[in-house]
A and B are shown apart, each in its own frame.
Chain A
Amino acid sequence: MPETLIEAADVAIWYGARRALGPLNLTVRRGEFWGIVGPNGAGKTTLLHALAGLTPRVEGKLAVCGHSACAMPRSQALRQAVGVLLQHHDYVPEAPFTVEDVVGFGRTALGTLGRRWLASDRDAVERALGVLGLTGFRTRLYRELSGGERRKVQIARLLAQESELLLMDEPVAGLDMDWQERLTCLAGALHCEHGKTVLFVTHDVANLPGCCTNVLLLNRGQTFAIGAPAEVLCPDVLSRLYGCPICVERRGDRYVAFAKPESAG
C-alpha cells in the first residue's frame, strides 16, 4: 500500500453543464484523519463518491490507494481498498437482513463475484462484531434497530471489509446527541486504535473527533481552506465560509462552532 492514499490533481466533476466539484487538489497520506466540512451543496458527498469510484466521469488525475478512480470500469482492488459509509441507505424496510448479514456485506469487496465464504471471512465478521460490541446482536434484524444502532452496524461492516481507507459521509447526521457523540468517538477509535485513514464528512465541526489531523473546507465545489484544525477552524475562516458571524470554542481537543446570534452583534 503506498504512503500517499489519495492523490487528486485538478480533479473536476460535471453534472451536465454545472461543475459540481473542482478543480480540486488534495493529498491524503496514510494515518491521517481528514474532516471534510462545508455548507449544503459544497460538493462533500460528490468528492466522497468520486473517491469511492462511484462517479462515471472524473476529469483530472485521481488516484486512490494506488488505483485510478477515473478509469472505468473500476478495479476490484480499488473497491477492496476503500470502505464507504453512505449517508443514506435506500433499502426496503421489510427486507429481513440480520446484523450478521449486513456486517458480512463488507466481505463481498474481497475477491471475485460468488467466491466461497472462507474461515477468514467468518473471523473478520466475528472480530468486527466483537469490536463494536455487537456480538449479542448478530441475529437481530437490521430493520428493528434504531438509527444509531444501524450506523454502528455499518461501521462494523467497514471494519469487516478490512480496508485501510474509510470514507464516512455524514455518519452522525440525524442522530440524537448521545449517538452523535458515541459515533464520533467510534470514528476516532477507527483511526487511533485500528490505524485507519479516515475522511469524515460533517456539517458540524463539533462532530470531528480530537484526533482529526487535517480539515478541508469546501465551498461551491472548490477548496475554501485546507490545513490543520487549529488553522482552519477559526472564526474568521468559518464566518467567510458560511457568510455569517461564527463563534468557535475549543473544548479539550475538539472544536465547537455556532452562528453568533444577530442581536449579539
Chain B
Amino acid sequence: MSAFEVFAPILAAAVLGGFSAGLLGVYVMGLRMPFLAVCTAHAALAGAILGQLAGLHPRLGAFAGALFGAAVLGFVLRRRNVDTNAALGSLFSLSLGVAFLGLGLQKGPKTPLLELMWGSLLFVTPQQLVGLAIAGALLVALSIVLEREMKVLLFDRLLAATLFAEAWVFTALLVLAAAIITFNLETTGGLLLYSLICNPAVVALKLARSFRAAMVWSAVLGAGSSVAGFLAAYMFDLPVGACIVLVSSLVVALALGFRQVRGRIHAD
C-alpha cells in the first residue's frame, strides 16, 4: 500500500470533518449552544449502545440516537421560555444514564462502543467519508438556501418567530447538527469534537466583518486545524485527536492575540 493510499483517506476525513464541524460551529456558537456537540455525542453513544443491544449496527444506532436527541431538543426548545442550556443539560444527563445502563447490560467487550467517544481518524472507512461529505454538503446547502433566515435565527430567535416559521428552520439545523456530529464521532470522537466545533467559530465570529466571511473562516480554520493536528501527531508520534484540539486551541490564542495587537495599533 502506497503512502498516498494510506494518507489520502485520513486527510480527506480531516478536511471534511473539520470543514463541517467549523461551519456548524458558527450556528452552534451563534445560538449560544456550545454544549450541543457533547450532548448530541452522548445521545449518539446511548443510541449506539441501545442499537447494539437490539442487534443493530452501532453507527445506525448512533445516528438514530443523535436524531432522537435533536428532535427532543427541537421540541423542548420550541417553548421559548425554556433555557437552552438547562434543556441541553437535562438531555445530556438522560443520554449518559441510558448509555451507562446499556453498557452495564452489554455482554462482551465494550471497547468498540467507548471508541465512539474518542474516535480514530486513522481507521476511517470509505462509508464514513461519504457520510461526512453528504452531511457537510447538506449543511452548505442549508446555509445557502436559508441564508437570511439562518442569520435572523442567530440574531434573535424571538424576532425570527415574528418573521417566519423559525421552529422549522431551528429543527432542520438541529437534525443536520446531529448528522454531522454522528459522522464525526468515529473520526474525531465526541469529546474532542466539542473543541473542533467551538474553537474555529469563536475565532471566525470575532475577526470576521461579515457573516458570510465568518462562515468561510470557521470552515477553513476547522479543516486547517484538523489537517495540521494530524500532521503534528504523525510527526511527533502523538495522539491524533488531542493534537487536533490543541492546534485549534492554539489558533484561538493566536487570533485573540492578533486582535489585541490590531486593537492597540488602531488605538495608537
Contact = CB atoms under 8 A, between A and B. Distances in A.
A113 B152 contact: no
B156 A91 contact: yes
Interface string B36-50: 000000000000000
A94 B206 contact: yes
Interface string A86-107: 1001111011111001101111
A113 B154 contact: no
Interface stretch (A21-29, A76-84, A170-178): A76-84
Given A76-B164, A84-B162, A86-B156, A92 B205 contact: yes
Contacts of B169: 113
Contacts of A241: none
Contact of B162 (A53, A73, A114, A117): A53
A81 to B, nearest CB: 11
A108 interface: yes
Contacts, number: 87
Contacts of A90: 156-158
A54 B148 contact: no
Contacts of B156: 86, 89-91
B124 to A, nearest CB: 33
A19 to B, nearest CB: 17
B242 interface: no
A107 B148 contact: yes
Q: How large is the interface on B (under 10, 10 to 19, 20 to 34, 35 or more residues)?
A: 20 to 34
Contacts of A108: 148-149, 152, 163-164
Interface in B140-175: 145-146, 148-149, 151-152, 154-159, 161-165, 168-169
A108 B164 CA distance: 7
Interface in A147-200: 161
A234 to B, nearest CB: 34
A91 B159 CA distance: 10
Interface string A57-82: 00000000000000001001001001
Contacts of B158: 54, 86, 90
A109 interface: yes
A101 B210 CA distance: 9
Given A94-B206, A98-B210, A101-B211, A114 B163 contact: no
Contact of B168 (A89, A113, A117, A141): A113
Given A96-B214, A114-B146, A105 B161 contact: no
B208 interface: yes
A105 B147 CA distance: 11
A97 B159 contact: no
Interface in A233-261: none
Interface string B73-103: 0000001100000000000000000000000
B146 A106 contact: no
A11 interface: no
Nearest to A161: B163
16 contacts: A56-B79, A90-B158, A94-B206, A95-B154, A95-B155, A97-B155, A97-B211, A98-B210, A102-B155, A108-B148, A108-B149, A113-B146, A114-B145, A114-B146, A114-B149, A161-B163
Given A54-B80, A92-B30, A105-B152, 10 more contacts: A53-B162, A54-B158, A82-B162, A90-B158, A91-B156, A92-B154, A95-B214, A97-B211, A105-B151, A114-B149
Q: List the 5 closest A-B pairs by CB distance, nearest first.
A: A94-B205, A109-B163, A84-B162, A114-B145, A96-B208
